[in-house]
Structure 1
């Protein structure tokens, strides 16, 4: 609910665009980055994506707050790739059990940057898209089944609630002296217990939501819309922006001679 209120008061251009246009733009960027593993195309895409922050009304602090798990996962994935990839070129670091060469470092850097370039548009998309607008667009424009649309809408609304629920469960457990002290193994067990508690709460909340939506007539044959989902000139610019970013990433990599398809990576 808090995120929805923030979006309602946010007049940034990307918040006013149709969700399907934003999804299409993100899909184009993701498709290009998924086909290549070089660092130049990912770097070009990242620079372009950073320039979109003002258009979404976001800050770097908010990006870290919402996307830090994805950022850390990309960093760990890049480091792991650099370690396990086959050596090529000069060896830069050798500690016996593993080594990093120029080729493996470039491959790991490309993997990390590609992960960030793919994750960032998703964070931008979720941060500037109202769940209700997305549900309206999926049902009215994409003509998707109502069960899928309602499930997507409920999932997006529950994501924020689950984050708050995790904090609530953690504070309640710490108040009872659980998980706030002990060995790393004991803390790991406490975290797993907290995760199980969150899973139980999610199932209960989803069950109540499903019953409530069914009782209020969601999924009926005859449906009316409080808000009509429409396309505008802004959506054309959003889609064109996705095409330009994808084209710039490919052009930059090809011009630099680093374009490297995933199945050709070694």
Structure 2
């Protein structure tokens, strides 16, 4: 598959996957979702790579899903095709979560909505000191989807997950570290460098054992994730039709 927005750089047993649309603060569109899904799946049977660093654009990890990219979705008359499109992000995050390698998201400047969701699907997160996390879905009448809500709850607990999703507050790096959303805070511009340092330590460990531990932790922590988030894209398609949700999105786009 030809990749226009995604590059893969291999450094021995470590790979760096970078995604950059070069538009709209690296917001996701369908093509980027498909390319990043393909990139993740390319590692599933890879026995030579043991750690993968995921990096966004230099000017921002990702501003979330590009609302303009969904403008034409409502004109889709085939319900099955529309549902297939809606679940693209779910498949993307599942592909990253299922990778046998240790995955580390390196986040510069901002991670918003879908950008937070893909980072939560990774094993660890490194955040720039001046960066922030922001989950504005409720503000625009949607629920946090892509299977991200149970992952978020696993990391911060139910009360903090409600605050993050309902109050839609921008979270600075130090707070994200204190709440357990990220494992490391690095100087701005140095998140990939710090992620690579962690990857080097992973590389020094027995590879089969690392993979078994990751599988065991994910199986335990995510035992009920599929049961609680299996319909999150369907829920968003429903809530998006609510009158207040439509009004909220219009206001958000104008802001």
More strand by share: 2
Higher RCO (C-alpha under 8 Å, 6+ residues apart) = 1
For Structure 1 versus Structure 2, the TM-score category normalised by the shorter chain is under 0.3
Give 1 or 2: higher helix fraction: 1
TM-score (norm 2): 0.24
